[in-house]
Amino acid sequence: MAEVEIFARTEIGCVRDRNEDRFLVVNLATGDRSLQPSSRIQTIARSGTLLAVCDGMGGAAGGDVAATIAVDTLARVMASASPFAGVEAAQEALLEAVRAANRAILEAAARDPMLRGMGTTVTACLVFETRLSIVHVGDSRAYLRRGRALQQLTVDHSVVGQLVAAGRVTAEAARGLEQRNVLLQALGVLPKVSAELVVCEVRAGDVLLLCSDGLNTPLGDEAIVELMLRHEDPMRCCRALTEAACAAGGPDNVTVVLARLTGEGLELPHGREPVTVERRQVAIG
């Protein structure tokens, strides 16, 4: 059976007063959201495993509240929808979970004037059968390491992210631009949001990384993949990545979720097989 070995870690960083990041790791077959040793290796079953990173925004307006609402709503909606009849049903459930999270944040802000203006990014990944299905809004990221190569699966919904996607700015140069944190999309800000659905077929040995921008802002992709290659164990790798981001200045909260895919149910990569990614834009709302 194919398995996924998981760990996650979040740090406040060196500048922020509080941590507005949230992560989610949930075995949809059991509802277990813990990171206890017995829960870190999960069989990829008909219910799937759900992983997510949310980076709240709004400061005093409740970015941490928005991120918490998002991960709790994702877990609840996906648990009620599983097990899934197939990949398409699983993807539609994930899209509906993100829609529900957007509505829940808007409703909470409408009830409490102190929370108006809050929002959050979301990068949510369902590990199901032999595929990763990712719904993405904002500038948190999903990466996949295959062998020694690290590939960014998502496109940042930010001013700078769009420049990089258009080839007008290099990824390395983008890390130094002041506009890098200007988001174009976020959950909880508007009733309708444009999300990205990303799907890729996985191979045995692939490692999925979800992270908030507190990781990739101080660390470039080369530094990230070097640490991932040095630390195969997800728990040790999560610690190494967050500590490296803090050592590099820790300008923001930093959160990482790592999932290593193994087992007989997955094909081995064919030589230096590249990661094939399918993506489409989806209206949320």
pLDDT band at 166 (very low <50, low <70, confident <90, very high): low
pLDDT in the model for residue 177: 61
- Kindly state the percentage of the chain with pLDDT values over 90: 82
Cα 277 to the chain's mean position, in Å?
16
Q: What is the pTM of this model?
A: 0.94
* pLDDT surpasses 70 at 198: yes
pLDDT per residue as tens digits for the range 148-164: 999 999 999 876 666 66
What is the average pLDDT score of the chain?
92
240 CB neighbour count, 10 Å cutoff: 18
- For the chain, the maximum distance between any two Cα atoms, rounded to a whole number of angstroms, is 56
pLDDT in the model for residue 203: 96
Rounded distance between C-alpha atoms, residue 156 and residue 180, angstroms: 9
pLDDT per residue as tens digits for the range 4-47: 999 999 999 999 999 999 999 999 999 999 999 999 999 987 89
Rounded distance between C-alpha atoms, residue 245 and residue 215, angstroms: 6
Tokens 């004037």, located at residue: 113
Helix axes 87-111, 63-81, angle to 10 degrees: 140
251 — phi, psi (to 5°)? -70, -10
Stated length of the chain: 285
pLDDT in the model for residue 175: 65
pLDDT in the model for residue 60: 62
Helix axes 221-230, 234-247, angle to 10 degrees: 140
pLDDT band at 179 (very low <50, low <70, confident <90, very high): low
CATH code reported for the domain at 2-264: 3.60.40.10
